[in-house]
């Protein structure tokens, strides 16, 4: 997987850690399912930050797939391998905004905007991405089923 897709994949997960808990554009307080999804996103980000393969295996459904921009489709194992490869960028900072959570029975969709800031060769930079994550609820627990991300248009 190329560096851009790796960056986007890592970005999505890290962004969830710093995101607000607003749902449905702030219309109401989060339901129990929405709160569970926010908690799971935090656990996902933490697992990626720690390169915790076991935790990622538990968070992602066995049928999990991800795609970033026009990149190739990644299955669960390829995604985990990519996310846990290499060192974490200590200069990276994420800001999540515009989060919307839609829960429909045992399926949920989270749509969010991620702004990634980092320092490269002493120069600060920022990139903005849009992500959509689909979750399914099985035996009372949510699991990530699919993730799609792309650079936001300026």
Indicate whether 7 pLDDT > 60: no
- Residues 61, 143: contact at Cβ < 8 Å? yes
The string of pLDDT tens digits covering residues 64-81 is 999 998 889 999 999 999
More confident site: 35 or 96: 35
What is the CATH code for 3-151? 3.10.450.50
Euclidean distance between CA atoms 54 and 113, whole angstroms: 27
For residue 104, the model assigns a pLDDT of 97
Euclidean distance between CA atoms 80 and 93, whole angstroms: 21
Q: Where are the chain's structural domains?
A: 3-151
Identify the DSSP state of 50.
T
For residue 48, the model assigns a pLDDT of 78
Q: Which of 44, 37, 74 has its CA nearest to residue 59?
A: 44
The string of pLDDT tens digits covering residues 109-152 is 999 887 778 888 899 999 898 999 999 999 999 999 999 999 99
The string of pLDDT tens digits covering residues 125-137 is 998 989 999 999 9
For residue 42, the model assigns a pLDDT of 81
- Residues 60, 82: contact at Cβ < 8 Å? no
The pTM for the full model equals 0.75
Computed on alpha carbons and rounded to an integer, the radius of gyration of the chain in Å comes to 15
């Amino acid at each position: 997987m190329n560096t851009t897709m790796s960056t986007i994949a890592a970005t999505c997960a890290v962004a969830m850690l710093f995101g607000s808990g607003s749902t449905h554009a702030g219309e109401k307080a989060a339901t129990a399912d929405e709160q569970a999804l926010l908690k799971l996103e935090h656990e996902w980000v933490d697992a990626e930050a720690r390169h915790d393969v076991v935790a990622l295996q538990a968070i992602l459904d066995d049928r999990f797939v991800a795609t970033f921009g026009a990149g190739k489709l990644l299955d669960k194992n390829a995604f985990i391998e990519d996310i846990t490869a290499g060192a974490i960028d200590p200069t990276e900072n994420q800001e999540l905004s515009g989060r919307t959570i839609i829960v429909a029975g045992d399926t949920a969709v989270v749509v969010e905007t991620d702004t990634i800031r980092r320092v490269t060769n002493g120069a600060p930079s920022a990139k903005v991405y849009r992500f959509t994550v689909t979750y399914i609820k099985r035996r009372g627990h949510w699991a990530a089923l699919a993730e799609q991300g792309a650079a936001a248009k300026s």
